[in-house]
């Protein structure tokens, strides 16, 4: 009962800010964003639907050449529907299952060997599962999609020198991360009897925040900027699938995918300095803790990176 009250309290407290109401109120204070991404090459994972699709389309409309990555080819093909011909022509797609290390490696190789550098990488693909989904590589799909693939792809592209000075990496986290401290032990859960999709997802999303700090410390002197953001609560197929009751109850006030992706586009346009221990939301850096308990991290960003590297090396 106590837990249910705590969860309800969490949603009631955050609703005015995380819903479309918060977005619309804050937008009143923003000037018009005249983003011009001509000459830039972007990669957006999870780019065929929801927030990722909105980012792909908006970036292409603002002139970027965008590579959208997801599994289902049919959905990827539909990303360009309704766009003007010039923007549609700037979007290409790559089918890859990011729950598999071998497919992420193939994707990274093909991106690294293609001509030109990558100006923006949006690590957006993310899933919240009701039960663990073991992969044939001995891992679990939400862990690999939400976190390990982001680490693998980013490290591979930086290692190959294709994300260089002036590159921006945006990691799409979630307000769900406010519920848990950084804890490596919470990341890879495979026992169905002891699995809570929401907690595991929150652990992945918290880890993205720590990883962003790690990357800024490690690669900041190369001129690459790493940002972590959360989109608020957004009307997407992912939310309807993973949290149907929440999606139904909040339906009138959920953000559009374009509103959810706004901060990613703004970060790549405005290029603010990365700030440690901050998460971007509606174009502002916010604190990464809402509860005292989450300050008690059980791991460090460096230990997290070592752990993720060890996961890549053991498979």
Ligand X SMILES: NC(=O)c1ccc[n+]([C@@H]2O[C@H](COP(=O)([O-])OP(=O)(O)OC[C@H]3O[C@@H](n4cnc5c(N)ncnc54)[C@H](OP(=O)(O)O)[C@@H]3O)[C@@H](O)[C@H]2O)c1
Residues labelled catalytic: 201
Site membership for ligand X, residue 52 (CB under 6 A): yes
Site membership for ligand X, residue 97 (CB under 6 A): yes
Site membership for ligand X, residue 155 (CB under 6 A): no
Is-contact 304 210, C-beta < 8 A?
Answer: yes
**Beta strand pairing call for 278-281 and 284-287:** antiparallel
Per-residue CA distances from 66 to 90, 172, 192, 258 (Å): 6, 17, 38, 16
Site membership for ligand X, residue 230 (CB under 6 A): yes
Cα separation of 241 and 115, whole Å?
A: 38
SS3 104: helix
Nearer to ligand X (CB atom), residue 75 or residue 306: 75
| Residue with the two structure tokens 């309807």 | 240
Site membership for ligand X, residue 145 (CB under 6 A): yes
Site membership for ligand X, residue 22 (CB under 6 A): no
What sign for the dihedral angle of Cα 78, 33, 236, 284? positive
Look at the chain and count its residues: 315
In the list 40, 142, 152, 174, the residue contacting ligand X (rule: CB under 6 A) is: 174
Site membership for ligand X, residue 130 (CB under 6 A): no
Nearer to ligand X (CB atom), residue 52 or residue 285: 52
Site membership for ligand X, residue 237 (CB under 6 A): yes
C-beta of 103: minimal distance to ligand X in Å? 8
Site membership for ligand X, residue 55 (CB under 6 A): no
Site membership for ligand X, residue 78 (CB under 6 A): no
Is-contact 120 39, C-beta < 8 A?
Answer: no
In the list 20, 23, 40, 48, the residue contacting ligand X (rule: CB under 6 A) is: 48
Could you tell me which stretch among 83-91, 191-199, 211-219, 233-241 binds ligand X (CB under 6 A)? 233-241
In the list 19, 60, 126, 202, the residue contacting ligand X (rule: CB under 6 A) is: 126
Structure tokens at 219: 């690669």
C-beta of 31: minimal distance to ligand X in Å? 26
In the list 238, 274, 285, 301, the residue contacting ligand X (rule: CB under 6 A) is: 238
Site membership for ligand X, residue 94 (CB under 6 A): no
**Beta strand pairing call for 65-70 and 41-45:** parallel
Q: Which residues contact 292 (CB under 8 A, 6 or more apart)?
A: none
Cα separation of 295 and 183, whole Å?
A: 11
Please return the burial class of 315, using the count of CB atoms within 10 Å of its CB with bins 0-12, 13-18 and 19+: middle
In the list 71, 198, 218, 286, the residue contacting ligand X (rule: CB under 6 A) is: 71
Site membership for ligand X, residue 72 (CB under 6 A): yes
Cα separation of 143 and 133, whole Å?
A: 9
Nearer to ligand X (CB atom), residue 201 or residue 219: 201
In the list 101, 122, 172, 288, the residue contacting ligand X (rule: CB under 6 A) is: 172
Site membership for ligand X, residue 91 (CB under 6 A): no
Site membership for ligand X, residue 311 (CB under 6 A): no
Is-contact 94 68, C-beta < 8 A?
Answer: yes
Which positions touch ligand X (CB under 6 A)?
46-52, 70-72, 75, 96-99, 124-127, 145, 172, 174, 230-231, 233-234, 236-239
């Amino acid at each position: 009962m106590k837990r249910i009250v705590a969860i309800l309290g969490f949603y009631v407290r955050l609703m005015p800010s995380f819903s479309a109401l918060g977005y619309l109120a804050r937008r009143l204070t923003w000037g018009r964003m005249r983003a011009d991404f001509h000459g830039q090459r972007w990669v957006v994972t999870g780019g065929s639907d929801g927030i990722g699709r909105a980012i792909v389309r908006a970036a292409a409309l603002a002139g970027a050449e965008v590579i959208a990555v997801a599994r289902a080819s049919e959905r990827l093909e539909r990303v360009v529907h309704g766009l003007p011909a010039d923007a549609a022509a700037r979007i290409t797609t790559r089918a890859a299952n990011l729950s598999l290390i071998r497919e992420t490696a193939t994707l990274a190789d093909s991106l690294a060997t293609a001509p030109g550098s990558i100006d923006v990488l949006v690590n957006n693909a993310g899933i919240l599962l009701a039960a663990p989904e073991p992969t044939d590589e001995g891992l679990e799909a939400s862990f690999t999609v939400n976190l390990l693939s982001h680490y693998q792809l980013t490290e591979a592209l930086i290692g190959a020198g294709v994300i260089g000075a002036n590159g921006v990496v945006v990691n799409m986290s979630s307000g769900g991360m406010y519920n848990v401290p950084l804890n490596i032990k919470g990341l890879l859960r495979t026992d169905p009897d002891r699995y809570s999709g929401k907690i595991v997802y929150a652990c992945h999303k918290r880890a993205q925040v720590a990883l962003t700090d790690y990357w800024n410390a490690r690669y900041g002197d190369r001129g690459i900027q790493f940002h972590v953001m959360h989109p608020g609560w957004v009307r997407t197929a992912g939310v309807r699938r993973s949290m149907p009751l929440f999606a139904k109850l909040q339906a009138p006030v959920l953000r559009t995918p374009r509103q959810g992706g706004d901060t990613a586009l703004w970060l790549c346009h405005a290029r603010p300095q990365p700030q440690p221990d901050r998460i971007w939301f509606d174009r502002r850096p916010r604190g990464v803790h809402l509860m005292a308990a989450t300050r008690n991290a059980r791991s460090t960003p460096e230990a997290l990176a070592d752990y993720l590297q060890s996961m890549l090396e053991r498979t």
